[in-house]
Structure 1
Amino acid sequence: MALYAAAAAVLAGVESRQGSLKGLVYASSFQNVKQLYALVCETQRYSAVLDAVITSAGLLRAEKKLRPHLAKVLVYELLLGRGFKGRGGRWKALLDRHQARLKAELARLKVHRGVSRNEDLLEVGSKPGPASQVPRFVRVNTLKTCSEDAIDYFKRQGFSYQGRASSLEDLGALKGKCFLLDSLLPELLVFPAQTDLHEHPLYQAGHLILQDKASCLPAMLLAPPPGSHVIDACAAPGNKTSHLAALLKNQGKIFAFDLDAKRLASMATLLTRAGVSCCELAEQDFLAVSPSDERYRQVQYILLDPSCSGSGMLTRQLEEPGAGVPSKERLRALAAFQQRVLSHALTFPALQRLVYSTCSLCQEENEDVVQAALQQSSGAFRLAPALPSWPHRGISTFPDAGHCLRASPETTLTGGFFIAVFERVEVPSLQVACGPVTSCGTPPLPLLQSDCFNGPSCVGISA
């Protein structure tokens, strides 16, 4: 019942312009914000259909105590959602009294419009696009379990394991209770689009992280070895932070910063559930963090995923079907902030590798920001050619922009994303060479896919 009341409150707030849908969801007291967000987005997407059915069935005339926004949420769940499945309490009993009439009115609406499927009732701008076909990616949290055990668990639940994916077509063809292991990330499971695992016991216990494949790439490409000191500069809501902790095996230190107190509190809950013990959270503006601070003298790795327009976010495409490109004014303001924070991050003295990422499709926030930061660094950093086999590359607006990678529902069956990997051009008193060990006794920096072609690893040799 709390879920439906919270969804109704968010819908009412959006209608009265109290805030954005996403902001109101996060500001609510409902604990499972992702479940709430999904329900509100889908209810809003079918809003016109639900209004027509509710009016034709005379629901609000018959139930005068039922508020319109709550009625819309409940009718969505009954006719178009998952059904109440033991939930709903007195609201389920109320809807049961009108169930036959509501279903009849939905069927009549389909006949009137000459369609057979629910989604065909939507206006053109609200119909599911490529975003709705993106598979459900599930990262196995290796701090608590392993891929093999998670796969066995799902198989015991009646899911059919199809092995490791070999192509994008394999991912797009998933249906029913089938799932795959991703071809690139060995800890990433892939389920059919719209698979809901928010109530799955492995998710609730922190063994699984519901995280899009593109969102998993920044931590994977940063690749800090266990024992490293890492900064996650704009950390909330925390999925990438938990991924970094898994790569570190909880050995080392993550300094995570974010200015939003509520998001940081949610992040703390997520990290606790995921078993993360190597992270130090700070409600602080990363731009105010001094690179000369003694606490960060060992930081060699920085993950920077700053605030952006979110134009590539799958949830935004559901929340605002047909939403256009952000205004030029907003893009200029965001890009200016992104450039400042990226240039600031590159001044940390021990930094060896930085991953810059956004969930934006806009060149102003991506290639333009990267180009400006490279110019400002005066040759101290270069772009590493990250994942050369990735099919969608950066826009060729400057030399080496193709070293960056992009992602989108259309080209990679993921959310929209941009990633650039910066690496320091040279380390004082060190030369980079290929070989299995370090003569100076320091651990080698982790290898990007294209860093070295003559040996298994790159190591530092004292000059």
Structure 2
Amino acid sequence: MVMLFDFQQRKFRLRQCPAEGEQEAVPEVRDLEKSLQRWKTKLAASLACFRIKHNLRSASCVLSDSIRVKEHRAKSLPLYAWVNTLHTSLDEVCELLHGANMSEVKQVVDLTDSTFSKDPLCPDTLIFSQNLCVPLQSSSLTSTHVLNIQDRSVCVAVSVLQPLLFEKGDVLVAGSFSALTLAHIAVAAAARSGQVLVCGADHTSLQNEEMKALLSKMDIKNVKVLPEAFCSLNESNATVERLKVIIVLPQCSSSALNDPVATMYSEHGDWNVLPDLSHGSVSKSKIFSLTTQQSRLLAHSLTFPKVQTVVYCTRSVFPEENEQLVRRVLEQAHTHPKLLPFRENGPIFPDDATSGDKTDSKFFRLQPSEFTNGCFIARLSRQVRDR
């Protein structure tokens, strides 16, 4: 269905043969395109009949209003790219961009094809116009991973994590995430001489290989892959002796993403929610399935006695996956009598950071818009005893 839609957008024209050095098309894809082209007249007629029957002005009108708004936003969504501060700095990258005849603007609304901006929420992230996607992806800055294009919802989560890291303390990443996200967290931890732990049993062998390959390419050496699954890991394991912070990035409904497909693909999201998202909502049964796993991960994060902070992040707009889940897990958590309990902490960002919704000061929400995808972040810290 994805190929059919793409083919229809190209008016059933076959793709051009790749130029020298470009990647060859997958043979199965090429065969399917040729089959679709042979039936293009009947396919076009069928689509026309459907539009007439339902009085639709265009094929996109099949979608709900909310989905069409998101689709419109996604086409012009700015690009966000974080700087690998292991080998350079944000200022040095800005100087390189100035040398390439690009100028800096203060507001994201002022972005053009020859400008860039700094992200007010993420101190290591730059913002570019969507029109610069191809030039950036083919530039030496991205090929050497000096700049790393990634969805803002992930960059914000790492930004929240940075000031919470302890000197020479370890951070564990739990849930579903990409090799690039792991690399971003590792770069942040390296600034505090910390190590990043990841549970290899929670990921496929291919995903583990991707992590290993990217970390090697970026010369990141402070990541340790544990053989255990996260929920079977406990305080008796010597590898968590220095563990101070856990960041939980579970699979979620992706309902705060304007175009969920790209981020779900890159961050190993749950593809089963796509049919629901295409109708503008997610079924109660699917939400229940997601929150069951989310609760399990978050609850287990609170069981490590030396952990001082847990960061929980979703790309969802649903309270069931966000504040309701966090509060329920905290209420049900069993804390050892000698340990301080966890509590909700906030605000996460400075008061002058206007890009988020802090109507509830205990949590942070980034609302989806034409400038960004959305996310929800909770920061849970050990409660301080009253003196």
TM-score, length basis structure 2: 0.74
Work out whether 1:256 is the aligned partner of 2:198.
yes
Secondary structure, in 3 states, of the residue corresponding to 2:320? helix
What is the root-mean-square deviation in Å for CA atoms of aligned residues? Answer: 3.4
By how many angstroms is 1:367 displaced?
1.6
Deviation string for 1:118-156 (max 9, x for gaps)? Answer: xx9762338632233321011001012111221222233
Work out whether 1:177 is the aligned partner of 2:119.
no
Give the counterpart of 2:323 among 367, 375, 387. 367
Work out whether 1:410 is the aligned partner of 2:369.
yes
Q: Is the 8 A contact 2:364 2:378 kept in 1?
A: yes
Structure 1's 267 and 288: CA in aligned 2 closer, same or farther, altered over 3 A?
same
Taking the aligned partners of 2:324 and 2:278, their CA distance within structure 1 comes to: 25
Alignment of 1:293-332 (within 5 A): 293-316=237-260, 322-332=278-288
Taking the aligned partners of 1:188 and 1:356, their CA distance within structure 2 comes to: 21
Work out whether 1:142 is the aligned partner of 2:103.
no
Q: In the alignment, what sits opposite 2:357? A: 393
Taking the aligned partners of 2:75 and 2:9, their CA distance within structure 1 comes to: 19
Structure 1's 177 and 322: CA in aligned 2 closer, same or farther, altered over 3 A?
farther
Taking the aligned partners of 1:391 and 1:202, their CA distance within structure 2 comes to: 27
Deviation string for 1:350-386 (max 9, x for gaps)? Answer: 1111100012222221122101111123681111112
Q: In the alignment, what sits opposite 2:267? A: none
Q: Is the 8 A contact 1:317 1:323 kept in 2?
A: no
Give the counterpart of 2:234 among 290, 293, 300. 290
Letter in 2 for 1:256: V
Structure 1's 145 and 337: CA in aligned 2 closer, same or farther, altered over 3 A?
same
Unpaired runs of 5+ in structure 1?
1-14, 16-40, 55-70, 79-83, 92-108, 114-119, 433-463
Secondary structure, in 3 states, of the residue corresponding to 1:48? helix
Q: In the alignment, what sits opposite 2:7? A: 47
By how many angstroms is 1:262 displaced?
1.6
Give the structure with higher Rg (CA): 1
Taking the aligned partners of 2:23 and 2:171, their CA distance within structure 1 comes to: 47
Taking the aligned partners of 1:46 and 1:90, their CA distance within structure 2 comes to: 18
Q: In the alignment, what sits opposite 2:155? A: 216
Structure 1's 311 and 269: CA in aligned 2 closer, same or farther, altered over 3 A?
farther
Secondary structure, in 3 states, of the residue corresponding to 1:304? strand
Structure 1's 89 and 266: CA in aligned 2 closer, same or farther, altered over 3 A?
closer
Structure 1's 346 and 328: CA in aligned 2 closer, same or farther, altered over 3 A?
same
Secondary structure, in 3 states, of the residue corresponding to 1:183? coil
Secondary structure, in 3 states, of the residue corresponding to 2:287? helix
Q: Is the 8 A contact 2:83 2:125 kept in 1?
A: yes
Deviation string for 1:87-113 (max 9, x for gaps)? Answer: 66999xxxxxxxxxxxxxxxxx9xxx9
Secondary structure, in 3 states, of the residue corresponding to 1:281? strand
Give the counterpart of 2:125 among 180, 188, 192. 188
Secondary structure, in 3 states, of the residue corresponding to 1:409? coil
Alignment of 1:37-116 (within 5 A): 45-50=5-10, 52-54=11-13, 71=14, 74=15
Q: Is the 8 A contact 2:311 2:380 kept in 1?
A: yes
Taking the aligned partners of 1:189 and 1:45, their CA distance within structure 2 comes to: 33
Unpaired runs of 5+ in structure 2?
26-43, 49-56, 265-273, 335-339
Deviation string for 1:27-63 (max 9, x for gaps)? Answer: xxxxxxxxxxxxxx7x66543233x443xxxxxxxxx
Q: Is the 8 A contact 2:198 2:224 kept in 1?
A: yes
Q: In the alignment, what sits opposite 1:155? A: 98
Q: In the alignment, what sits opposite 2:52? A: none
Letter in 1 for 2:232: A
- The structure showing larger relative contact order (alpha-carbon pairs under 8 Å, at least 6 residues apart) is 2
Q: Is the 8 A contact 1:310 1:360 kept in 2?
A: yes
Taking the aligned partners of 2:282 and 2:383, their CA distance within structure 1 comes to: 35
Deviation string for 1:281-321 (max 9, x for gaps)? Answer: 23542111113322212211111101222223344257968
Q: Is the 8 A contact 1:343 1:377 kept in 2?
A: yes
Letter in 2 for 1:187: D
Structure 1's 236 and 410: CA in aligned 2 closer, same or farther, altered over 3 A?
closer
By how many angstroms is 1:248 displaced?
2.4
Q: In the alignment, what sits opposite 1:438? A: none
Which segment drifts farther, 215-224 or 329-338? 215-224
Taking the aligned partners of 1:89 and 1:207, their CA distance within structure 2 comes to: 24
Structure 1's 416 and 294: CA in aligned 2 closer, same or farther, altered over 3 A?
same
Taking the aligned partners of 1:350 and 1:313, their CA distance within structure 2 comes to: 34
Secondary structure, in 3 states, of the residue corresponding to 1:139? strand
Q: What fraction of aligned residue pairs are identical, expressed as a percent?
A: 22
Taking the aligned partners of 1:49 and 1:294, their CA distance within structure 2 comes to: 56
Alignment of 1:344-355 (within 5 A): 344-355=300-311
Taking the aligned partners of 1:220 and 1:89, their CA distance within structure 2 comes to: 35
Structure 1's 410 and 328: CA in aligned 2 closer, same or farther, altered over 3 A?
same
Q: In the alignment, what sits opposite 1:132? A: 75
Q: Is the 8 A contact 1:133 1:193 kept in 2?
A: yes
Taking the aligned partners of 1:53 and 1:44, their CA distance within structure 2 comes to: 9
Secondary structure, in 3 states, of the residue corresponding to 1:363? coil
Alignment of 1:29-40 (within 5 A): none
Deviation string for 1:62-84 (max 9, x for gaps)? Answer: xxxxxxxxx3xx16xx9xxxxx6
By how many angstroms is 1:279 displaced?
0.4
Taking the aligned partners of 1:46 and 1:342, their CA distance within structure 2 comes to: 39
Taking the aligned partners of 1:333 and 1:262, their CA distance within structure 2 comes to: 25
